[in-house]
Amino acid sequence: MQTLENVFEDVETRDINLYAALDIGSNSFHLVIARVVAGSLQTVQKIKNKVRLAEGLNEKNILSDEAMERGLTTLQSMAESMQGLDPSHVRVVATHTLRKARNAKVFLSKARKVFPYPIEIISGPEEARLIYTGIANTTQSEGNRLVVDIGGGSTEFAVGEHLLPVMCKSVQMGCVSYQQRYFADGTLTKKAFQAAITSARLEIELVVGNLKRFNWETNIGASGTIRSICSVLTAQAESQSDVAITKTGMNELMQACCECGHSDNLVLPGLTDDRKPVFAAGLSILIAIFRSLNLETMGVSSAALREGVLYEAHDTGANTNIRERTAQSLATRYDVDTLFAKKVWATCIKIYEQAAQSWDIDKGDLRHLLGWSALLHEVGLQINSRGVQRHSSYIIEQSDLPGFNQEQQKLLAALVRYQRKKIKLAELPAFVNYSEAVVLKLLVLLRLGILLNINRQESQLPEFGLEVVEEKIILSFPENWFDLSPLLLADLQQENRYIEATGMSIRIK
């Protein structure tokens, strides 16, 4: 009798590292888990839960307890599917609703108790970039492409060539928010459709003007709203594969919706029950996009935000390259002294590596964030040398920074804001994924790295030693060196007085 326990003995063992991406959307939560096969990602599990987080957002942008509870319950169940995954192979991103919710921190704090992975709130343009990345890595098309994704609370646009987007924009309109505004009671009329379409065209007017500066050969739609429209048109055509979305087809769908009269009565082949309440709203937005951009057809991709997140979670160098382009763009725009910035960076990294283990900050992306704050700390100098720290912080806080999530961007802005002079602890923002102790340690290291290069002379700073003992930074310099640099000694003594507010201190041997 044949036995099976040794049947795979001669089969080469493959890399079974798993990667996961979770998209906490305004309408649905999407989890995708994949493994690497021959350098490409192969999906092994997909989970989608309809949460309708955006429905819990009131006019004051407060997320309701009921919506939070739906989200937390979903996260808890998804955590079970993600058990055993390497945390460095997992990335979780949240979009429009948590971007907008004034009490998002409450949700994130509660989530940490039931969900073991950090949640990143990403900006609208960053969401658009990641959607483009997901589609570009999974869709074959020639030349430039336009990507559109209609979510529950926002709509993202990206245009680019191959793997590189050249413009990413986000507009605050989505199928859930438009359903609440124009189809709240479920009634479907031509008047309601026209009001929604007109409103959407007004919302995207500025984006359309920017998009029309570019040329593209292919239009690609993504995510639930556009896929549901494609599914209905495909079912009506009795096709075995997805048909293109057309302007004519959507106008016929709008007429069919009005004939049904109410979202509960929508009986369209290919339309699932969970999509019925928001179908008309999503259809209105896509019709508006077609009309404003003069589109005739649009293809549909099965990939979206979660695939973009997944590809970047796997390709660890991709995010670094994007951040490099972001830093280069800011440096060019604000005429940064790049030689000096690199000098400060080198000093910051040197002292970080000496302090990281003792201070328990040798994990995650803290080294990178300290480095980026060092490189960008003077972007505000182009505005005015007086109060440069405030100008630099404002620029970093208000700019689109591809490659950085919302909290990382806020941390960079906070570090740069207090790079010099008094540290006002009461004004430091609170973070979800970074403790105050960690933020203060990074801030002290940044300040020290800048201070040690204060005279900006390329060869002035000698080799120095650094040791960390609890909250003390002990610096050692060549004997009698301060006889030649008494001002730096005075600056270090003044800096010691400034950082007393953090509970840390500087000692010089």
CB 121 within 8 A of CB 94: yes
Q: Distance between CA 286 and CA 257 in Å, rounded?
A: 15
Residue 262 DSSP one-character state: B
Over residues 141-197, the pLDDT tens digits come to: 667 899 999 998 899 999 998 878 889 999 999 998 999 999 999 999 999 999 999
Q: Distance between CA 61 and CA 26 in Å, rounded?
A: 13
Q: Distance between CA 461 and CA 157 in Å, rounded?
A: 48
Which domains does the chain carry?
A: 18-121 (3.30.420.40), 125-306 (3.30.420.150), 315-459 (1.10.3210.10)
Helix axis angle for 366-376 and 406-417, nearest 10°, is 50
Six-digit token pair at 28?
């649905």
Which is nearest to 153 in space by CA: 319, 24, 265? 24
**Whole-number pLDDT of residue 286:** 97
- From first to last of the 509 residues of the chain, give the pLDDT tens digit: 455 566 555 555 555 688 899 999 988 899 999 887 766 678 888 899 989 898 898 989 999 999 999 999 999 999 988 988 888 889 999 999 999 999 999 999 999 999 999 999 999 999 999 999 888 888 776 678 999 999 988 999 999 988 788 899 999 999 989 999 999 999 999 999 999 999 999 999 999 999 989 989 899 999 889 999 999 999 998 887 788 999 999 999 999 999 999 999 999 999 999 899 999 999 999 999 999 999 999 999 988 898 888 888 776 555 567 778 788 888 888 888 888 889 899 999 999 998 888 898 887 689 989 999 999 998 888 888 788 889 999 999 988 787 888 888 999 999 999 998 888 888 888 888 888 999 999 999 999 999 888 876 655 677 788 888 888 888 888 877 777 777 888 888 888 888 888 888 888 87
User: Hunting for tokens 């390329």 — which residue is that?
Assistant: 458
User: Hunting for tokens 């309809």 — which residue is that?
Assistant: 50
CB atoms < 10 A from the CB of 159, how many?
A: 23
87: Cβ contacts below 8 Å, ≥ 6 apart: 116, 117
CB 292 within 8 A of CB 208: yes
Helix axis angle for 406-417 and 388-398, nearest 10°, is 170
Six-digit token pair at 434?
């970074």
Six-digit token pair at 217?
């050969």
Six-digit token pair at 81?
């599917």
User: Hunting for tokens 């440069």 — which residue is that?
Assistant: 388
Three-state secondary structure along 176-238? HHHHHHHCCCCECCHHHHHHHHHHHHHHCHHHHHHHCCCCCCEEEEEHHHHHHHHHHHHHHCC
Q: What is the separation, in whole angstroms, between the first and last Cα of the chain?
A: 79
Name the pTM for this structure: 0.79
Over residues 464-478, the pLDDT tens digits come to: 888 888 888 888 888
